[in-house]
Amino acid sequence: MLTVHEHLVKNVHLGAENSLRDGLLTIAPEEIRALATHPLIRSVELHIVRPGESIRIIRVLDAIQPRAKGGDGAVFPGFLGPARVAGAGDTHILSGCALLTVSPLPRAQEALIDMAGPGANLSPLARENLLILEFTPVEGAPWGEYEAALRLAALRVAAHLGGIARSAPPGRRLRVPPASSAIGLPRVGYIYNIQAQGSFKDTFVYGRSARDILPTLITAGELLDGAVVSGNYGHPSLKNSTYAHLTNPVVKELLSRDGDDLAFAGIILKPEPVTLEGKELVAEYAAKLASQLNWQGAIVTKEGGGNADTDLFLAAEKCERRGVRTVLLMAELAGPDGRTPPLLGSQPEADSLVSVGNYEEPVSLPSVERVIGGDSLRLADGPVAGPLTIPTAPIFGALSPVGIGSLRARAQ
């Protein structure tokens, strides 16, 4: 059994001593800098950014919701502390705030967050108080090693911030059982596709790349403790940041309705292989698990672009054929004017789709007072603080495949 203690953060500032009081999180910067030290990191600059401020953040790599264990053990097992199965005990989380890593990284697709204006409605991170760690690499640092160093530093800081909440008065408490005890209700599970291709497009489970795993069961508690961490710098609006793994709305919804109108029958974590043979295998295997566990239905989410749609549709096909009904969440590639046929490749079984928006729809962003993360954008000409017209695609989390965003597309 995991007990989650949720502490709401309403404002963040830097100060002499760490504390969380009445929603105000005070962070002592020197400790953060110490945690973010590494031979390959030349410098880290701290920024605090709040919803509504006229600030544009570029070169966003990952976002993490801070958390820490209440007693023994560590969050982000396999990165902080040994890889021990997580999901029990007490975990303190800070809601209303997130940690963001920002850095140049050539292999990363350009990612952006506007904290105010029309862009702010599109990035779920824009409604959080953000502590931004802006990293610069040491000259000549190999990018793969530098990226690993950033990730470790950020996870340390996230756990450190979570630790501040330990001694704060308790917020909301949520009990997360390892399994459902509901009887007589439809057994509904979640097939959770994660993109793990190796270098810069990876997802880690207990610290290991999930690239070649077979689908496996994982519990909500393990996810909440950070067993799944993102190392994916592909499509910023279509990838799962660590924040998305930690706050997964599909998991939350199934947990909250467990015992009401469904029995939350489990989560299958499933990779997205790069060969068709691999995709067929893991889809079949996941369907086998679902059917073995007597699931009547499965929500299926993906990660990534058009390639991952195949994984989604194969999962639907294999599940439906075994009598497990499916509903798929996906973003649409409907072209800048919304007129391109919305799906690329489909199976007849993929007839229950929930839209998280059109990837390519252009959005006009106004100019901003301040930019964090760099002074030029690859994806648009003109000054980075100036007005921009860009597709929805580079906005961090806008079309989140697990639904942390708020977009959908409709026929017009």
Partner 1 sequence: MLRIVHYINQFFAGLGGEEKADLKPDVRSGPVGPGRLLQSLLQGKGEVVATLICGDTYFAEQPEESCRRLADLLFTLKADLILAGPAFASGRYGFACGEVARMALQELKIPAVAAIHHENPGAQAATAGAYIVPCGSSAASMKEALPSLLALGIKLAGGSAVSPDVDGYLPRGIRKNVTAELPAAVRAVNMLLAKIAGHPFTSEIPLPQFDRVPPAPPIPHSREATIALVTESGLVPAGNPDRIESSRASHFARYSIDGLQAFTPGKFESVHGGYSTDLANADPNRLVPLDVARRLEKAGRIARLYDYYFTTVGNGTSVQKAQAFAREIASEMRRSGVQAAILTAT
Partner 2 sequence: MAKELEREGIPTALLCNIVPIALTVGANRVVPTRGIQYPTGDPSLPREQEEAWRERLLLTALEALETPVDGPTVFPPDSSRLE
Which partner in partner 2, partner 1, none is near 329 (CB below 5 to 8 A by kind)?
Answer: partner 1
Instruction: Give the interface segment with partner 2, choosing from 127-135, 188-196, 271-279, 365-373 (CB under 8 A).
Output: 271-279
Which partner in partner 2, partner 1, none is near 186 (CB below 5 to 8 A by kind)?
Answer: partner 1
179-238: contacts with partner 2 (CB under 8 A): 197
- Whether the CB-CB separation of 189 and 267 falls below 8 Å is answered with yes
Q: At closest approach, how far in Å is the CB of 360 from partner 1?
A: 6
338-397: contacts with partner 2 (CB under 8 A): 344-347
Binding mask 131-150 for partner 2 (x = CB under 8 A): --------------------
Give the HSE-up count for residue 260: Cα atoms under 13 Å, Cβ half-sphere: 6
- Amino acid symbol at 177: P
Instruction: Give the interface segment with partner 2, choosing from 41-49, 306-314, 325-333, 388-396 (CB under 8 A).
Output: 306-314
CA–CA dist 397, 100 (Å, integer): 12
91 is a contact residue toward partner 2 (CB under 8 A): no
275 is a contact residue toward partner 2 (CB under 8 A): yes
Where is 5: in which H helix or E strand?
strand 2-8
Packing angle, helices 306-321 and 276-292, rounded to 10: 40
Q: At closest approach, how far in Å is the CB of 347 from partner 2?
A: 8
Considering the complex, state which of residue 123 and residue 164 has its C-beta at the smaller distance from partner 1. 123
- Whether the CB-CB separation of 137 and 101 falls below 8 Å is answered with no
Instruction: Give the interface segment with partner 2, choosing from 8-16, 47-55, 212-220, 268-276 (CB under 8 A).
Output: 268-276
Judged by phi (left if over 0) then psi (alpha if -120 to 50, else beta), residue 172 lies in beta
Nearest to 168 by CA among 26, 65, 20: 20
Start-to-end CA distance of the chain, whole Å, equals 46
Q: At closest approach, how far in Å is the CB of 73 from partner 1?
A: 28
Considering the complex, state which of residue 313 and residue 359 has its C-beta at the smaller distance from partner 2. 313
Q: Out of 95, 216, 307, 340, name the contact with partner 2 by CB under 8 A.
A: 307
Considering the complex, state which of residue 57 and residue 250 has its C-beta at the smaller distance from partner 1. 250
* Residues 6 or more apart whose Cβ sits within 8 Å of residue 65: 93, 94, 95, 97, 98, 99, 158, 242, 243, 246, 247
24-63: contacts with partner 2 (CB under 8 A): none
Nearest to 2 by CA among 80, 65, 73: 73
Site residues (vs partner 2, CB under 8 A): 197, 274-276, 279, 306-307, 309-310, 313, 344-347
